[in-house]
Amino acid sequence: MDVNRSVLTLDEFTIQQLRDFPSATGELSSLLRDIGLAAKRINVEVNKAGLIDILGAFGTTNVQGEEVMKLDVFANNQMMGVLKHGISCAGIGSEEMDDIEIFDDPISNNSKYVCLFDPLDGSSNIDVNVSIGTIFSIYRRVSELGKPCTKEDFLQSGNKQVAAGYVIYGSSTMLVYATKRGVNGFTLDQQIGEFCLSHPNIQCPEKGKIYSVNHGNFFQYEQGVKEYITACQKKTKADGGPYTQRYIGSMVSDVHRNLIKGGIFAYPGTTDKPNGKLRLLYECNPFAFIVEKAGGRATNGKQRILDIQPKELHQRTPLFIGSTKMMDELDTYLQTSK
Ligand code: AHM
Ligand code: MG
């Protein structure tokens, strides 16, 4: 059988990139490999989700006598497990856990990085077979190497991220990650169980025709947001339209699509929830990093997401993210209606 050597696997790609940095220790590529492994395991379970009626519903006992775990708990355990047993991560923070988990063993205490993640974002969509995802964010520790990591390592602003990425469990499974060198996407070849480079050097188009927002909250949005959405609805060919509204309710899928095709995604604050729904550390910062590295922008309506100094692990923030020209237009509405 011919082997297509023009296709790079995730490991080959990260190792090749490393060669350009003779001082690099390989810890970051090992961490990305660990996340890739967890993603493959989560992928297997996500694909089985439709079979729960046959295999046993969550919380019940399966034929082996084991309790069937909720998928988001399973995903959290997989991410935690690979990072704990790997050699690159000193501790984790997860949307699923109240507090950080400090690994505190001799290898982890000497690891350079900490990782924050949302193990299964959009998990309310599992029952209806809609794409969901894992989101992750990697920081270099600020605490002293050789000792356990501290909360300070996790409460760094997003502009300190070393890498961030997501896995989308969709019609195909993809892992996309960004470093300061750019954004690259890998599609899982299910037959060989490898993520293969399929979307090199992803660039977010400067403008698009897609806007993604929960219209059900429209009357709870601030005036400028309402005016921008109304302007999107009124776009004609003459001013770059018509626009189309696409909102899956699964951030990974919504932002992934807009990243590739061009568009804007918003989860604004509402009168009920002034800070919106999305979490700064697990959802907004990683996507802001990825989209900026691909040439786009991300704000909370007032300031760049990546410049927000986090105060607590689970803090929420309004989010506007996407193609630069669309973000610029949004800004004109947010500023004039203040
Ligand atoms: P989750 O972390 O509980 O899964 O919630 C986050 C998800 C995002 O993926 C999505 O953008 C948003 O919730 C949708 O919320 P809504 O249904 O309020 O529009
Ligand atoms: Mg989430």
The answer to whether residue 1 is domain-embedded is no
Q: Is 276 in the pocket of ligand 1 (CB under 6 A)?
A: no
Same domain, 193 and 277: no
Query: So what's the pLDDT on residue 55?
Result: 57
| Residue listed under structure tokens 């921008």 | 228
Q: List the CATH number of the domain containing 266.
A: 3.40.190.80
Counting from 1 in the atom list of ligand 1, the atom nearest the Cα of 267 is: 11
- Domain boundary among the residues 157, 180, 199 is at 199
The DSSP bridge partners found for residue 326 are none
d(CA 289, CA 181): 12
CA of residue 247 to ligand 1 center, whole Å: 11
Q: Is the pLDDT of residue 183 over 90?
A: yes
Residue whose Cα lies nearest atom 5 of ligand 1: it is 122
Same domain, 295 and 161: no
CA of residue 149 to ligand 1 center, whole Å: 30
Same domain, 177 and 215: no
The answer to whether residue 204 is domain-embedded is no
Counting from 1 in the atom list of ligand 1, the atom nearest the Cα of 250 is: 9
Sequence-distant (6+) residues with CB within 8 A of 261 are 205, 208, 210
The answer to whether residue 42 is domain-embedded is yes
Domain that holds residue 22: 10-199
Give the pLDDT mean for 288-309.
98
What is the torsional sign of CA 251, 157, 113, 154? Answer: negative
The answer to whether residue 4 is domain-embedded is no
The answer to whether residue 77 is domain-embedded is yes
Same domain, 127 and 165: yes
Identify which of 122, 162, 126, 125 has the alpha carbon closest to the alpha carbon of residue 142. Answer: 162
Span 253-292, pLDDT tens digits: 999 999 999 999 999 999 999 999 999 999 999 999 999 9
Most trustworthy range by pLDDT among 25-34, 65-74, 127-136, 181-190: 181-190
Q: Is 277 in the pocket of ligand 1 (CB under 6 A)?
A: yes
The answer to whether residue 313 is domain-embedded is yes
**Between 27-47 and 71-85, two packed helices, what is the crossing angle to 10 degrees?**
160
d(CA 178, CA 180): 7
The answer to whether residue 205 is domain-embedded is no
Query: So what's the pLDDT on residue 128?
Result: 83
Task: For residue 62, name the pLDDT band (cuts at 50, 70, 90).
Answer: low
Cα 114-310-331 angle, rounded to 5 deg: 120
Same domain, 188 and 268: no
Same domain, 241 and 151: no
Q: List the CATH number of the domain containing 35.
A: 3.30.540.10
Give the pLDDT mean for 2-11.
77
Whole-number Cα distances in Å, 9 to 72, 197, 216: 27, 6, 42
Span 74-128, pLDDT tens digits: 999 999 999 999 999 999 999 999 999 999 999 999 999 999 999 999 887 887 8
d(CA 306, CA 286): 9
User: Model-level pTM?
Assistant: 0.94
d(CA 317, CA 274): 8
Task: For residue 18, name the pLDDT band (cuts at 50, 70, 90).
Answer: confident
Q: Is 249 in the pocket of ligand 1 (CB under 6 A)?
A: yes
Same domain, 63 and 107: yes
Same domain, 326 and 225: yes
Percent over 70 (pLDDT), the chain: 92
CA of residue 69 to ligand 2 center, whole Å: 18
Q: Is the pLDDT of residue 72 over 60?
A: yes
Per the prediction, the chain carries an average pLDDT of: 92
Q: Is the pLDDT of residue 5 over 70?
A: no
- Domain boundary among the residues 199, 227, 255 is at 199
Task: Flag the least confident range among 5-19, 85-99, 200-214.
Answer: 5-19
Percent over 90 (pLDDT), the chain: 81
The answer to whether residue 319 is domain-embedded is yes
Q: Which of 277, 314, 317 to mutate to test the pocket of ligand 1 (most atoms within 8 A of CB)?
A: 277
Q: Is the pLDDT of residue 56 over 70?
A: no
Structure-block tokens of residue 271: 């009168």
146 vs 71, more confident: 146
CA of residue 124 to ligand 1 center, whole Å: 8
Q: Is the pLDDT of residue 1 over 60?
A: no
Task: For residue 338, name the pLDDT band (cuts at 50, 70, 90).
Answer: low
- Domain boundary among the residues 170, 199, 228 is at 199
Same domain, 250 and 182: no
The DSSP bridge partners found for residue 133 are 121, 168
> For 200, which DSSP code?
-
d(CA 301, CA 236): 25
Same domain, 275 and 309: yes
Query: So what's the pLDDT on residue 2?
Result: 54
Query: So what's the pLDDT on residue 53?
Result: 60
d(CA 174, CA 185): 7
Counting from 1 in the atom list of ligand 1, the atom nearest the Cα of 72 is: 4
Total domain count for the chain? 2
Helices (H), 159-284: 223-234, 251-261
Same domain, 125 and 157: yes
Same domain, 192 and 215: no
Query: So what's the pLDDT on residue 79?
Result: 97
d(CA 321, CA 324): 9
